[in-house]
Amino acid sequence: MAAKKRIGILISGRGSNMVSLIEAARLPDYPVEIACVVSNRPDAAGLDRARAEGIPAIAIDHKLFPSREAFEAELDAALRGAGVELVVCAGFMRKMTAGFVESWRDAMLNIHPSLLPSFKGLDTHARALAAGVKVAGCTVHVVRPELDSGPIVAQAAVPVLDGDTEESLAARVLAAEHRLYPHALKLFASGGAVISGERVEADQGLVNPADPLFWPPLD
């Protein structure tokens, strides 16, 4: 197997997507090694969880920096210092400058809890319910400077049920996120996701439907 890609995971809170990636990375054939976890919020619960798993985890408190650029310079130094090749945003709730995003061009992924390009930004579930959509879901995409945009690596859909609340829909989507991100990251890190213009094409030779991480599942 090719050398594992070193990733840095960016979080801001609970870190449940981070945990799904940590669990996937324990599998021997998973093409990723988690070099570090960074949170912009010192109180993020995910930091303790990462440390408990033996992963270097640091807080870089954005409030301590005079500008977005100064914060990002510190973040960038931490990532590059840890030998990170691929940045994986998992509930990282901080807008990034175009300069920072471009410096990680085609080497930064994000997960968003909607079927992009619908419902970019915050309060996605409330807006999906208000719009009356019947299908919701989540998207893993390559990060581009414009918020919640960039080539789509993978998506998962879930139904919106009558009587759903923001909480019940969020929980259903989150369960899908936990399955989608390990799959999408595996595809991307193994070179199986080829960016062509603003689209991603999966290299079918690297997509194995028998893989337990394969999405969508065959059933």
In angstroms, what is the minimal distance from the CB of 53 to ligand GRF? Answer: 15
Residues in the site for ligand GRF, rule: CB under 6 A? Answer: 11, 13-17, 90-91, 111-113, 174, 177
**Residue 217, C-beta contacts closer than 8 angstroms, at least 6 positions apart:** none
Q: Which is nearer to ligand GRF, 13 or 56 (CB)?
A: 13
User: Does 216 sit behind a cis peptide bond, omega within 30 degrees of 0 on the bond before it?
Assistant: yes
Amino acid at 150: G
What's CA 211's distance to the chain center, in Å?
20
Do residues 139 and 164 lie in contact, with contact meaning Cβ atoms separated by under 8 Å?
no
**Residue 154, C-beta contacts closer than 8 angstroms, at least 6 positions apart:** 139, 140, 180, 183, 184, 187, 215
Nearest residue relative to ligand GRF (C-beta): 91
Q: Which is nearer to ligand GRF, 4 or 14 (CB)?
A: 14
> Looking only at Cα atoms, what is the longest distance across the chain?
52
CB atoms within 10 A of CB 2: 8
Amino acid at 216: P
Q: How far apart are CA 126 and CA 177, in angstroms?
A: 18
**Token duo for residue 33:** 């090694």
Amino acid at 179: R
Q: Which is nearer to ligand GRF, 93 or 207 (CB)?
A: 93
In angstroms, what is the minimal distance from the CB of 46 to ligand GRF? Answer: 6
Q: Which is nearer to ligand GRF, 94 or 206 (CB)?
A: 94
In angstroms, what is the minimal distance from the CB of 3 to ligand GRF? Answer: 27
In angstroms, what is the minimal distance from the CB of 134 to ligand GRF? Answer: 20
**Catalytic machinery residues:** 112
